[in-house]
Structure 1
Amino acid sequence: MIVRGMMIIIGGFITAYGLEAVLIPNSVSDGGVTGLSIVGSQLTGLPLGVLIALLNIPFVYLGYKQIGKSFAVYSIIGIVSLAVSTSLMHHIPTIIEGDTLLITVVGGIIIGFGMGLALRNGGALDGIDMLAVLLSRKLPFGTSDLILFLNMFVFIIVSTVFGLQGAILSAIAYFIASKVIHIVEEGLSGSKTFNIITDEPEQMVKTIYERLGRGATYKTVQGSYSKESYREISCVINRLEESKIKEIIQEIDPKAFVTVYDVAEVRGGNFTKHDVY
Structure 2
Amino acid sequence: MYNFFRKNGFVIAGGAIQGFGMGLFLFPHAIPSGGAGGLAVLLNYFLHLDMGFSLWIVNFSMLVLAIKFLGNRCAIWTMVAISVTSLSIYFFQNTISKPLGNVWVDLVIGSLFLGTGVGLLLREGVSNGGVGVIALIISTERNILPGRPLFWINVSIFFITALIISWDIIIQALISQWISTKVVDYVCGIRFHQVYTLGWRKK
TM-score range, shorter chain: 0.7 to 0.9
SS of the residue corresponding to residue 63 of structure 1 reads helix
Shift of 1:95: 3.9
Number of equivalent positions: 193
Higher Cα Rg, which structure: 1
- The equivalent residue for 1:115 is 118
Report the structure, 1 or 2, having the larger strand content: 1
1:95-151 deviations in whole A, cap 9, x for unaligned?
A: 46352321221111011111111122231113313335657999xxx9776544432
Q: What's the CA shift for 1:53?
A: 3.8
TM-score, length of structure 1 as denominator length: 0.56
Distance 2:16 2:39 in 1: 19
Q: Do residues 152 (structure 1) and 155 (structure 2) align?
A: yes
How far apart, in 2, do the equivalents of 1:42 and 1:110 lie? 27
Q: Which runs of 5+ in 1 are unaligned?
A: 190-237, 239-269
Identity between Structure 1 and Structure 2 (%): 21
Kept in 2, the 8 Å contact 1:20–1:92? The answer is no
- Choose the corresponding residue for 2:39, options 15, 36, 41: 36
1:157 to 1:16, Cα distance in 2 relative to 1, 3 A: farther
Contact between 2:44 and 2:51, CA under 8 Å: does it hold in 1? no
Over the aligned positions, Cα root-mean-square deviation in angstroms equals 3.7
Q: TM-score, normalised by structure 2?
A: 0.73
Aligned partners of 1:113, 1:93: CA distance in 2, in Å?
21
Tell me the equivalent position of 1:202: none
Task: Name the residue aligned to 2:79.
Answer: 76
Paired with 2:95 and 2:50, the residues of 1 have a C-alpha distance of 18
In 2, Cα distance between equivalents of 1:137 and 1:182: 14
Determine the C-alpha separation between the residues in 1 that align with 2:138 and 2:14. 26
2-structure distance, mates of 1:136, 1:116? 13
Amino acid of the structure 2 residue aligned with 1:183: Y
Render the CA deviation track for 1:50-93: whole Å, top value 9, x for unaligned: 55443211211212221223222211211122233333444455
State which of 106, 109, 116 in structure 2 corresponds to 1:106.
109
Q: Which protein has greater RCO, CA pairs closer than 8 Å, 6+ apart?
A: 2
Tell me if 1:126 matches 2:129.
Answer: yes
- Per the alignment, residue 183 of structure 2 pairs with 180
What is the aligned counterpart of 2:9 among 2, 6, 29?
A: 6
Structure 2's unaligned 5+ residue stretches are none
Mapped pair 1:18 → 2:21: yes
Deviations 1:178-219 (A, max 9, x none): 011112111289xxxxxxxxxxxxxxxxxxxxxxxxxxxxxx
